[in-house]
Amino acid sequence: MDLVPALEEPLKKVLGPPTAKVMAEHLGLHTVGDLLHHYPRRYEERGQLTHLADLPMDEHVTVVAMVADARLHSFASAKSPRGKGQRLEVTITDGHGRLQLVFFGNGVHKPHKELLPGTRAMFAGKVSVFNRRLQLAHPAYELLRGDTEEAVETWAGALIPLYPATAKLESWKIGKAVQTVLPSAQEAVDPLPESLRAGRGLVSLPEALLKIHRPHTKADIDAARTRLKWDEAFVLQVALARRRHADAQLPAVPRRPAADGLLSAFDDRLPFTLTDGQRKVSAEIFDDLATDHPMHRLLQGEVGSGKTLVALRAMLTVVDAGGQAALLAPTEVLAQQHHRSVVEMMGELAEGGMLGGADRATKVVLLTGSMGAAARRQALLDLVTGEAGIVIGTHALIEDKVRFHDLGLVVVDEQHRFGVEQRDALRGKGTQPPHLLVMTATPIPRTVAMTVFGDLETSVLDQLPAGRSPIASHVVPAADKPHFLARAWERVREEVANGHQAYVVCPRIGDEEDDPKKAGRKKSPEDEAEKRPPLAVLDVADHLAEGPLHGLTVEVLHGRMHPDDKDAVMRRFAAGDTDVLVATTVIEVGVNVPNATAMVIMDADRFGVSQLHQLRGRVGRGSAPGLCLLVTEMPEASPARQRLGAVAATLDGFELSRIDLEQRREGDVLGQAQSGARSSLRVLAVIEDEEVIEQAREEAVAVVEADPDLTAHPGLRTALDALVDEEREQYLEKG
């Protein structure tokens, strides 16, 4: 948040071009403000030294330790055949462990004079192993002297900040640069309104910056972090609140359901009653569609909670009101699957203009990149004339030549797979902004939804439809207990014998060409076990058909097959002609075969928690109970096994998404959602700081409602401009 001219000063002017260049290239820091917001990762306490025993291999580390011993050796080498080569070996200790430092050649003179036994210093370098001992070769170091005036000043604080650093720029050099610009912190304009700051007991921004970079006590660090978390949460929530406020001012065509239109005809033909959750969420959506500004709603729900049905009812409402609806799916398999299930659910209501179609019917068309030219031309014609009320497609919907008669609603399935530009391109096809419904099948914890999709109203479907069966999940430790894997294939045979079907999921297809560079290398047996390639669909399918599942019909499905072949395989499986489908994650979302009751996931440790939950949702979709077996060769104590244990232990997708997020950190989530714009979160952790985010949202809404243009809050405006730079401003506008 580069707040004022003093903080906008380029680092080149303040620190000199060489340092500024490294900071820009390796840390993305360009101005004084950027550097002040580059916070320490952790703090070393004077007298409490880093444990040398815990150093990670091959990583750049900074340690504080004391020199125990220093010896200069001479040796013969190619350059100095007469034994004049020099090597300085310094042993440092922290009272718990020891570490060897080595310096060679001309580099020995300075450390030989300075690193005397008893000297304390900070050392930085890459940890390597030599003769089975950890060492740092040619580390950079900074002596911790307490005698000179400058050193006393620099190290006066009892806490030494350690910064996220790079090989080119050690932590203390960053620290020194920060000390140089720290006086500018006094000029930082505070983005938080005075009343908010006083009400929440937060320190001012200049004070927070001072305390985070030069703390005297741990309480200083806590006060600074709390304040800086508020900055991040509040400014982000103000950006989202302004966006919601601006959207509410846009015009849109209200779309109200007709009394006896398509929707009521569709509801009459449903063979089941809607769940309370589906009714409640539908009512929220219908209320939004009836307003004269665009709906922006996120529909999230458990795997199999009936989101597609809710979305279809919204689409039918818009068709009833004279508009068209588009459903954007991330893959061709999913687009075809949606098209097939929508046409099946609607029956003759989807046969508008055809013989046998109902009076109030409409046309449901599919548009994908691999369609034949004639079918594509017809689909485009149906859209521009308004003949087709509903279109389901992939990115092909976004192309320039696609024109709509009157686009009233855009439904985006699996939001996280689409860039903002793609959604925007589709929304731009309406004469007025269409309503937008975003669906995600990966349940998102509330705080993430508030941080990432804070501009969307959220509806949650957390109730499974009646008739859905529970899914039993078990971990199969193939390496520890091979007989468990044999039993897994027996269970698949038993399910098939009972008239059901099964999926086997693998991480890889298997027709990839091996890298010739890698092929030549010799590997140790341990390497082979640890780094063997993930199991592949084509290999596993052959092995099963010839071995454990001999006699059953086994087919394969993966993303590189021709779309017609994929569709044919899915149709045969849906019809019950195939017993076992061996597939990649193309079946992850939306594939609906109620008769499939078992799933075996090979190398399950290679998938993320949410992905496993998604995959598992493909079974247990009918009245028979589902079974999901997670096969892994990972040892029992490994984090991967604990992750699989968590998936097996609960069917609650929201709980699993929290576990997933805690393990992956939110950078991934925010990165996906923020269209590649750098994540603005430096101290705010989405899961841990739930309370701060909720409170910040309330405060932000109040501020924006009272003063949408933030005229009374110049500091907040400046912070917002810095957070929402041009790229992100466009991103937020596109939504």
- What beta strand segments (E) does 619-723 contain? 626-632
Q: What pLDDT does 226 receive? A: 93
Q: What's the predicted TM-score (pTM) here?
A: 0.67
pLDDT of residue 81: 58
Q: CA-CA distances (angstroms) from residue 451 to 9, 77, 455?
A: 30, 60, 9
Q: Which two tokens stand for residue 505?
A: 């999921």
**Cα distance from N-terminal residue to C-terminal residue, the chain:** 22
The pLDDT value recorded for residue 511 is 64
Q: Which amino acid is at 335?
A: A
In terms of Cβ atoms closer than 10 Å to its own Cβ (0-12, 13-18, 19+), residue 709 is: exposed
* Residue 553 CA to its chain's centroid (Å): 37
Sign of the alpha-carbon torsion through 508, 512, 515, 519: positive
The pLDDT of residue 313 = 95
Q: How far is CA 364 from the centre of its chain?
A: 33
Q: What is the pLDDT of residue 418?
A: 55
- Each as own residue / partner, the long-range contacts of residues 280-287 (CB below 8 Å, 24 or more positions apart, any chain) are 281/310, 281/459, 281/460, 281/461, 282/310, 282/313, 282/314, 284/457, 284/459, 285/310, 285/313, 285/314, 285/437, 285/459, 286/256, 286/257, 286/314, 286/317
Are the beta carbons of 632 and 477 closer than 8 angstroms? yes
Do the bridges between strand 407-413 and strand 324-328 make them parallel or antiparallel, or are there none, so unpaired? Answer: parallel
Query: Which residue in the block uniquely carries the two structure tokens 């006086």?
Result: 183
For 160-197, write each residue's pLDDT tens digit: 788 877 777 778 788 888 988 889 888 888 889 988 99
**Beta strands 580-583; 554-557: pairing state:** parallel
List the one residue out of 395, 363, 399 whose CA is nearest residue 382: 363
> Which amino acid is it at 519?
A
pLDDT per position as a tens digit, 631-658: 998 887 788 888 899 889 888 777 787 7
Which residue ranges of the chain lie beneath pLDDT 50?
A: 1-4, 47-49, 148-157, 513-530, 666-679, 726-735
pLDDT at 79: 61
3 state SS of 293: coil
> What whole-number distance in Å separates Cα of residue 597 and Cα of residue 92?
61
DSSP assignment of 504-566? EE-SB-S-PPPPHHHHTS---HHHHHHHPPPPBHHHHHHHHHHTTTTTS-EEEE-TTS-HHHH
What was the pLDDT predicted at 160? 78
Nearest to 245 by CA among 709, 680, 673, 696: 709
Beta strands in 569-662 (DSSP E): 580-583, 596-601, 626-632
pLDDT of residue 397: 81
The beta strands (E) that lie in 48-151 are given as 60-75, 85-93, 98-104, 120-130, 133-137, 140-143
